[in-house]
Amino acid sequence: MSDNQSKAVEFKYKNITISGLPGSGSTTLLKMLKDNDLLKFAGWRGFNGGDFMRSYAKEKGLFEENGGLHHDASHYEDDFDRKVDYGMREKLQDGRGWILESWLSGFMAQGVKGTLKILMVCSDKAVKVDRIVNRDLVTADEAIKNMHERYLKNLNKWQRMYSAEWKEWVVETKKMKQSDPIDFWHPDLYDIVIDTYSANQQEVLKIVLDEITK
């Protein structure tokens, strides 16, 4: 695709966020979008929040390597966590052509105009576990334990940190009720929800490209 051809494409959105729990395929989607000729020629670029945080943790010696398993957010001080999360929100507010992938990128995009918020899910637990087993080279039991513990620790930390933002961005805008629990991955907070159990990688990519260019 030539540069002139890519410039002729009009994008419906300025930026994209990709959120999803482990094994949902969010990182795979980020890679496919970063490698897509249409988006590359148009100047889109990607940011993986998990990779950034893991690099920081290793540099600071905040945790010991445990095989290939990913660690939870309790290893980071609140101020650093918030700085990274709000840094993503600022990119979405002030920039163009960002593809941001992290657990909370979709939540941090609440109320930011021009952002396509994608939630990745996998409706088959066995498939999710198998993906993590192959990615991290661990047993199924280790993968399940890590998934569960990371989810609970991250959720508890972020519920505490972002309760005020939840009220302002979600409850006061009528996306959820005051009585609803804080759930950063509730489908009502996203523009599209993609189940990677029922759609293969190329189908997922087509869904997103069709959405941002239609």
Q: Give the pLDDT confidence score for residue 2 in this predicted structure.
A: 46
Are 105 and 19 in contact, with CB atoms under 8 Å apart?
yes
Helix pair 78-94, 49-60: axis angle to 10 deg: 150
Tokens 């960002």 found at: 98
Residues of the chain under the 70 pLDDT cut: 1-8, 50-75
Q: Which residues contact 182 (CB under 8 A, 6 or more apart)?
A: 155, 158, 159, 162, 163, 166
Q: Give the pLDDT confidence score for residue 7 in this predicted structure.
A: 54
Instruction: Give how far Cα 91 sits from Cα of 16, 26, 39, 85, 183, Å.
Output: 11, 19, 17, 10, 23
The tens digit of pLDDT for each residue in 134-147 reads 988 999 999 999 99
Q: Which residues contact 172 (CB under 8 A, 6 or more apart)?
A: none
Tokens 């979008």 found at: 33
Domain limits of the chain?
Answer: 12-205
Alpha-helical regions (H) of the chain: 3-8, 26-35, 37-41, 49-60, 78-94, 105-108, 125-136, 140-161, 163-165, 201-213
The letter for the amino acid at 130 is D
Return d(Cα 14, Cα 212) in angstroms, integer: 9
Q: Give the pLDDT confidence score for residue 76 in this predicted structure.
A: 74
Return d(Cα 32, Cα 123) in angstroms, integer: 21
Q: Give the pLDDT confidence score for residue 41 in this predicted structure.
A: 93
Helix (H) or strand (E) holding 194: strand 192-195
Report the alpha-carbon angle 182-123-163, nearest 5: 10
**Regarding the domain delimited by 12-205, which CATH topology (the fold level of the hierarchy) does it fall under?**
Rossmann fold (3.40.50)
Q: Give the pLDDT confidence score for residue 58 in this predicted structure.
A: 56
